[in-house]
Amino acid sequence: MGSVETEPLLSGFSAGEETPRSNSKHVSDGELERILTDDTLPFLHRLGAAFWVEFKLLFFLAAPAVFVYVVNYVMSMSTQMFSGHLGNLELAASSLGNTGIQLLAYGLMLGMGSAVETLCGQAYGAQKFGMLGIYMQRSTVLLSLAGILMTVVYVFSEPILLFLGESAEIAAAAALFVYGLIPQIFAYAVNFPIQKFMQAQSIVAPSAYISAGALVLHLVLSWLVVYKIGLGLLGASLTLSLSWWIIVIAQFVYIVKSPKCKQTWQGFTLQAFSGLPSFFKLSAASAVMLCLETWYFQILVLLAGLLPQPELALDSLSVCTTLSGWFNMISVGFQAAASVRVGNELGAGNPKSASFSVVVVTAISFIISAIIAIVILVLRDVISYAFTGGEVVAAAVSDLCPLLALCIVLNGVQPVLSGVAVGCGWQAFVAYVNVGCYYGVGLPLGAVLGFYFDYGAKGIWLGMLGGTAMQTVILLWVTFRTNWNKEVEEAAKRLSKWEDKKEEALD
Mean pLDDT of 158-187: 88
> Which candidate, 96, 102, 101, 69, places its Cα nearest to that of 83?
96
Cβ atoms 184, 147 nearer than 8 A: no
pLDDT at 7 over 80: no
Res. 100 pLDDT band, cuts 50 70 90: low
Mean pLDDT of 374-389: 86
**Gap between the Cα atoms of 309 and 320, Å rounded:** 17
Q: How far is CA 83 from CA 34, 230, 303, 346, 395, in A?
A: 54, 11, 22, 45, 21
Return the minimum-mean-pLDDT range out of 282-296, 328-342, 400-414, 473-487.
282-296
Return the minimum-mean-pLDDT range out of 286-290, 294-298, 339-343, 376-380.
294-298
472/427: higher pLDDT: 472
pTM, two decimal places? 0.74
Mean pLDDT of 63-67: 83
Q: What is the DSSP string of 140-178?
A: HHHHHHHHHHHHHHHHTHHHHHHHTT--HHHHHHHHHHH
183/424: higher pLDDT: 183
Residue 389's CB: how many other CB atoms inside 10 A? 12
